Structure 1
Amino acid sequence: MRKKFVIFLNGEYKYSQEFMDRLVSEETICFCADGGANFAFQYGKVPKMIIGDLDSIEKRVLEYYKSKNVLIKKFPRDKDFTDFELILEEINKILGNEDFIEKIFVVGGLGNRLDMTLSNLFLMEKYKNIVFLLEGEEIFYAEKSFVLKNKKNFEFSIVPISKNVEKLTLKGFKFETDGIDVKRESSRLVSNVICENEASIEFESGKLIVILKNKNLFIKKFWRF
């Protein structure tokens, strides 16, 4: 059975309790990166594991999670990987195979520090099941064609991270394309709108960061975690 994960990082948090309660179900496996545990605590969520040098987690939060028998892995402050990547490696160890991962949802992964935000986003190229969530927005990586369902009226943007995206065809959008080549520096793929209940994104080669935004923010029927 494929598993769903939620990772709490130490970035910006502008999520409602309702959003978080729907995201984190009984079947969800949660991890916290150091200070991300403070936010998990605020939302009443108990992680499987806390990883980091533990310089950002509040003492009362740490003691609470210890009392709940949460596994805590402390690393030196000077290390070769971010806490986020340490968690991703831990998930791979637990499962042993990426095929058993349904999705890795990340909250608090953006904002605060530009260097950490960019580092987090580019990890999607290595760990392809990552989805960064804001309330009303999701960000994910794609290197092959895909279809979006039940996202009508969502704003849609593509940020190419490879030098070129070849033969890109968009169907079901306000602005459609038919087999165009797009260079990385182009801005023509931002601020599109999905117009159909099923929209297709087809391309022969390229690497993309895709950003979906619900203009009406949090509407329950759209957010099926």
Structure 2
Amino acid sequence: MDLMIHSSTFLLPQFPADNGPSLLYALVLLNQPLPKFTPLLWNNARLRVCADGGANRLFDELPKLFPDDEASAIRKRYKPDLIKGDMDSIRAEVLEFYTNLGTKIIDASHDQDTTDLHKCVAYIRDLPNLDDQNFCVLVAGALGGRFDHEVGNINVLCFFSTIRIILLSDDCLIQLLPSSHHHEIHIQSSVEGPHCGLIPIGTPSKSTTTTGLQWDLTDTEMRFGGLISTSNIVKGEIVTVRSESDLLWTISIKKA
């Protein structure tokens, strides 16, 4: 079984020079409060996408992170490449502003069976030259607010299980660890941890084994209604995970 390596170097002010191949990522902004580190993610993204009302958050919240600059200058500097969704949340003046700046707009209101995040990830998936194994999709504003929205975002992780997708808030990140691979998670202790969790998703995990946690699992069964590994703690620089079923990995993000 192949090994998949994970690292949150995108949260670092500078990528370490000895970290191997550079991480390539697209950034998607959703309609929830954006993490304070959004400008850092933005500056290193290859593609910047707003999912419908995520454009309102970009328009309203980014200027507040730069109180010494003119709001209009910040809004022009942080111009998304694309806005896609069913267009039921984006304000008319925000849509007009970014349209005038040249942002591509895709109205997908004909599709009411998928979420705005699903629509955006599907667009990114179909772009050429993005099949690099180090490519991933970072989703800011993915957690908090309505629980059904959060569950919908987690469902996107499962639907697009062959794409690395990481859900982000100021407090934590969530990503899928597919059972098709063994996993090695390189902990960036300056920006994340120590609290973490492993949660079975879709089906129970009959056997999960880890190293690098305070409470490691050894051929442990996990299921809802039984044991799940929440409130665990990373102890080393590398966490390894082997599981018979897909798991969600979550780790806390440290406040700047």
The 3 A distance-change label for structure 1 pair 101 and 188 is: closer
Alignment partner of 2:101 out of 42, 45, 68: 68
Shift in Å, 1:59 = 2.3
Q: Deviations over 1:196-217 (max 9, x none)?
A: 11221222x1011111113xx2
Backbone CA RMSD of aligned residues: 2.3
Shift in Å, 1:28 = 2.9
Task: Report the 3-state secondary structure (helix = DSSP H, G, I; strand = E; otherwise coil) of the residue aligned with 1:191.
Answer: strand
Unmatched 5+ stretches in structure 1: 220-225
Using the size of structure 2 for normalisation, the TM-score is 0.74
For residues 7 and 141 of structure 1, the distance between their equivalents in structure 2, rounded to whole angstroms, comes to 17
Shift in Å, 1:85 = 1.3
Alignment partner of 2:92 out of 54, 59, 66: 59
Number of the residue aligned with 1:199: 239
Shift in Å, 1:72 = 0.6
Mapping of 1:1-150 within 5 angstroms? 3-10=24-31, 12-13=32-33, 15-16=35-36, 19-42=37-60, 43=62, 44=75, 45-76=78-109, 79-95=112-128, 98-99=131-132, 102-128=135-161, 129-143=164-178, 144-150=181-187
Task: Report the 3-state secondary structure (helix = DSSP H, G, I; strand = E; otherwise coil) of the residue aligned with 1:25.
Answer: helix
Q: Deviations over 1:115-148 (max 9, x none)?
A: 2221111110122311000124110001232122
Shift in Å, 1:36 = 0.6
Using the size of structure 1 for normalisation, the TM-score is 0.84
The 3 A distance-change label for structure 1 pair 200 and 78 is: closer
For residues 156 and 195 of structure 1, the distance between their equivalents in structure 2, rounded to whole angstroms, comes to 11
Q: Deviations over 1:132-188 (max 9, x none)?
A: 001241100012321222345521111111433233222111112222222343244
Alignment identity in percent?
22
The 3 A distance-change label for structure 1 pair 41 and 98 is: same
Q: How many residues align?
A: 213
Unmatched 5+ stretches in structure 2: 1-21, 63-74
